[in-house]
Each structure stands twice: as structure tokens, then as C-alpha cells.
Structure 1
Amino acid sequence: MERGVLAACCLVGVAAALGCRGREEDRPGEPIVATVGTATITAAQYKARLDEQAPFIRARYTTLERKQEFLNGLIQFEVLAQEAQRRGLDKDPEVQEALRKLIVQRMIRQVTEELKPPSETEVRQYYDEHRSEFVRPEQVRLNHVFLASAQGDARRAQVKAEALALVARARAQQAELRQRGFEELARERSDDATSKQMGGDLGPRTAEELTQAWGAALAQAAFALQAPNELGPLVETEKGFHLVMLRLRQAGLHHSLESVKERIGSRLLAERRTQALEALVKQLRERVPIHIEESVLDGVQPAAATAP
């Protein structure tokens, strides 16, 4: 039973590899393992097919008896291939189309394998030009309600009292309803025209961005918040008073060049392959006359979808 399963695995694996056909005169000097009709299986071909198997399968073929089992799979494939050819199946349109697809795939692989991998300089340049993908400071996303009252404003104490009352109002809301209520409060009362209609949403900001826009006190209060919908204390700045609520925190990124070197190299190589294929196709299309019958194309209708 085990031998039958192994032989079947070998047969499938060899079929996928397109067999080992060849003639003795085509490979002078190569040791021949078996002759099958007009074809031969050389020791190098046998080893190549064996090496294609998974390691745990290869480990089974160490004795002569097991090696003969694997060879039997190659022979089975070869006699089937010769019979299929005798029946003219190699000229079957479906087979010919499959062959065309295979040789196109092989040509594409040949073209891409000739490409040189990106150099250390190219990898470093990509890292420097796309640093934000790999190094980014921590960010917070806030909603705020801003009550404007500059330093020296005669109404500043009154505005502060109003702001404290709004903080108490926001804290009185249940946690699951707090975000909606806070957004409504921002639309109703905030003096920040930019974020007011968005419910006070400031979007993701770093500490540096918040400091530049509203001052260090707001940035410090924002980054002290930990949980979504958490309300901070009333923040007083030179511009006025801020009620702040955390929507989310986004951890920073700190990927060194060494840690992402392989990823960048793979990305650059993939881009290089795409560009090489696009250039090849463009060159070939310019070389080959192409005419499209749009009326015929328009008349082609796909098969109707069947009900599941």
C-alpha cells in the first residue's frame, strides 16, 4: 500500500515536471539509468526529479529498492507520454495552448532571473525616501471643544467657568454615549472652525504637531490619555480653553534599515521585474502588426452566470 502511494506521488510530481525525455546521443558521456523505447533517463535527470520532491519524501529513497520504486514512476510517465504522442495528443489544441502558456511562463522567468538584485545603495536610498513607512512617532487622535479666550481677555474667567461646566456635562454622560455627545457639543459650541463640523475631530497628530498647532499644554494632556473616549482635564492655553477626548492611540514605528533591508530589496526587485516585462511587451508590440476588429470584439458575450 505504501509503495503504491509513493509511486503515485512520484508519477504526479514527474508529470508536473514534464518528464525526463531524451535520447542517448543527445547527452554523450552521461550515465544512463534506464532506456524506455527511444528515450533515456540519465542519472542527472533522475537526480533532478528526485531533488524536486519534498525533503521528507527524498529521505525515503536511500536504498536500491526504494530508488527502483522512484525510477518506476519515471518509467510509467515516459511510457504514458510516448503513447499519448503516438495517439497524436501532442497536436491537440488544448495541449498546444497549455504548451504556449508554459513557454510564456518560462520566458518571463528567464527575463526576470536575469535581473540584478538591488544594491545596498539603492536599498538605503529607498529607505531614506520612504522613511515615514518605517519610522513614525506615536500619534493620538483627538476630539476637542475649543473655547476661544486669549490671554488678557476681560471675559477669560467667565469663559473658563463655562468650559468647566462643559467638562462636567461631558463627564456625566455614560462612556458608550460619550463620543456622540462630545461631537454634538463640539458642533454646538466649539470655536475651532476647522474641526467644528467634524465633531471636534483633529485627526491623527504627533506631539510635535499638536504643540505647533495649539501649544505644549494640549499636547501633554492629549498624550496622557490612555483609553478611547477618555476625557482629559480642562486644558488652558494662550488661545483659550480646550475640552479633550481621546479617540485612539497609534503606536510609533521604529524599524531600522537593517530590519527592513530584505523587505525593501524584495519590493525593489518586484518593481524591477514589472518594469522589465512592461518594457519587453512594449518592444514586442511595436515589432508585431496588431489590428483589432472592434465590431467582432463587441459581439463576444461571456457565458451567463449559473445560479449557486
Structure 2
Amino acid sequence: MIDKRLLAQESRARGLNENQEIQKQVQALEERLMLQALLAEEERAAGAPSEAELRAWYEGHLTELTQPERVRVVRIFAATPAGASAAQRTQAKQRAERFAQQLRAGQPREKVAAGGDGPEKARGGELGGLARGDWRGDVAVEKAAFALKKVGEVSPVVAEAGGFSVLQLLERREARVPPFEEVRAEVEARMLPQRKRKVFEDLLERLRRAGTIEIDVAGRP
């Protein structure tokens, strides 16, 4: 900080603070800081949105707040090598069918997953909670996952790029609109930009009605 002060003193001693370009930048910075302070003051004066305003926003944005249908599944993958022959694909499909039989027989999914090839086997085969469109792989896997209805249900073998999969449903959550109380904080946060914009526009409108601005020939207000 001392070095900074020494450098500033030397700049003034050389008259650099009188430089027109520097003065323009200082003025621009001053105006920007004052504007920020003014808007912050107006936002404080406006206060937080009322409960009625929050609920009105909630009711008007139910579609956006709807939580999509989700499933949590186990995937056991039997891979085929690049350029696999028909025989190799048959062998991989047979492996996947054995995985399905093991799951249906009640063998622990972690044990079955350990024999698979996908990276998810390190997590006991679990892919986590996924909504439609979250799948980054073959859409056939997504379709098979959402076709499962009961926890523990095992899918038929699914052919996909690079091999064959079998899926088991761990959890299913239907699409739902969360109650207002559950998403109140989210509603308030999502209202904030809109509220800030309204405060700004209201202030600007008042100033336009009451204020007077003169511009000189050099274009400076």
C-alpha cells in the first residue's frame, strides 16, 4: 500500500492527473460507482417481495418449476470390441443375458456389476438419478430405463453402440410440481433479476419525468 501511495504521489508530481484521457476514465468510473450505489439504495427502499408477489410468480411459472420424471437404475454392460464379428456380438449378448438372469435371481447388484465392462461398475452399476434427455449414450438405454415400472424390475437385454446392456430399476420418481413452501427460496432467487430490472426502470422513468439534462457542443453532459 505504501508503494502504491508513493507511485501515486510521483504521478501527480509529474502532472499525470491532469491528463485528459485519465480524467475521462476517472469520471466514467465515478459515474459507474455512483450508479451502482444509487441502484443499491433504490433496491433497499423497494424491500423484499411480499408473500403475495412470491406466490403470484410461483403460480405463473408452474411449468418451469415442474420436476421431471426421474429414474435411478443399475446398468450392467457387456462390451464388444471395435469391428466385432457377429460371433463376438453374440457372445457379448449372451453375457448380458446372464447378467439379467443373475439380477432376476436376486444376486447382489454390486457382485453382478463387477463382472461388467462399463465404468459404472465401480459404483455397483449405478447410473444415478436421470431425467429424459440426460442420457449421453444410446437412446435405447434411456427408453429401456423409463420402461421399467417397479423397483427391482430388470429390463430385457438392450443393444447399443459398443455392446449390450441390462438395466435394473432402483427408484422411480414421477414428474411433480413441488409445493410453494418447498421452492420458496428458489422462487425468490429467480424473481430477483426481474425485480432489480423493475426498480431500475421505475427509477429511470421518475428521473425522465422530473430531470433535465443539457449536453454541450463537446458532447459532455
Percent of aligned pairs with the same amino acid: 26
Offset at 1:169? 2.7
The one-letter code sitting in structure 1 at the alignment partner of 2:143 is: Q
Distance (Å, rounded) in 2 between the aligned partners of 1:164 and 1:205: 24
1:33-73 residue CA offsets vs partner (Å, 9 max, x unmatched): xxxxxxxxxxxxxxxxxxxxxxxxxxxxxxxxxxxxxxxxx
Q: Which residue of structure 1 aligns with residue 68 of structure 2? A: 137
Q: Which residue of structure 2 aligns with residue 185 of structure 1? A: 112
- Taking structure 1 as the reference length, the TM-score comes to 0.38
The one-letter code sitting in structure 1 at the alignment partner of 2:110 is: E
The one-letter code sitting in structure 1 at the alignment partner of 2:134 is: E
Distance (Å, rounded) in 2 between the aligned partners of 1:138 and 1:150: 34
Distance (Å, rounded) in 2 between the aligned partners of 1:216 and 1:247: 19
Distance (Å, rounded) in 2 between the aligned partners of 1:208 and 1:151: 26
- The 1:166/1:121 distance shift into structure 2, 3 A limit, reads closer
Runs of 5+ in structure 1 lacking a partner? 1-113, 269-308
Distance (Å, rounded) in 1 between the aligned partners of 2:175 and 2:168: 20
- The 1:151/1:124 distance shift into structure 2, 3 A limit, reads farther
Structure with the greater relative contact order (CA < 8 A, sep ≥ 6): 1 or 2? Answer: 2
Offset at 1:165? 2.3
Which of 195-204 and 142-151 deviates more? 142-151
- The 1:116/1:148 distance shift into structure 2, 3 A limit, reads closer
Distance (Å, rounded) in 2 between the aligned partners of 1:224 and 1:122: 36
The residue correspondences of 1:152-231 to structure 2 (distance < 5 A) are: 152-154=83-85, 155-173=88-106, 178=107, 181-186=108-113, 188-193=114-119, 195-210=120-135, 213-231=136-154
Offset at 1:116? 6.1
How many residue pairs align between the two structures?
139
Residue in structure 2 matching 1:251, options 150, 174, 184? 174
Distance (Å, rounded) in 1 between the aligned partners of 2:55 and 2:149: 40
Contact 1:140 1:246 in 2 (8 A): yes
Contact 1:143 1:183 in 2 (8 A): no
- The 1:183/1:208 distance shift into structure 2, 3 A limit, reads same
- The 1:167/1:117 distance shift into structure 2, 3 A limit, reads closer
- Taking structure 2 as the reference length, the TM-score comes to 0.51
Greater C-alpha radius of gyration: 1
Q: CA RMSD in A?
A: 3.8
- SS of the equivalent of 2:94 reads helix
Offset at 1:166? 2.4
The one-letter code sitting in structure 1 at the alignment partner of 2:158 is: V
The one-letter code sitting in structure 1 at the alignment partner of 2:92 is: V
Contact 2:76 2:99 in 1 (8 A): no
- The 1:116/1:137 distance shift into structure 2, 3 A limit, reads closer
- The 1:122/1:172 distance shift into structure 2, 3 A limit, reads closer
Q: Which residue of structure 2 aligns with residue 273 of structure 1? A: none
Contact 2:69 2:173 in 1 (8 A): yes
- SS of the equivalent of 2:123 reads coil
Contact 2:78 2:163 in 1 (8 A): yes
Runs of 5+ in structure 2 lacking a partner? 1-45, 189-221
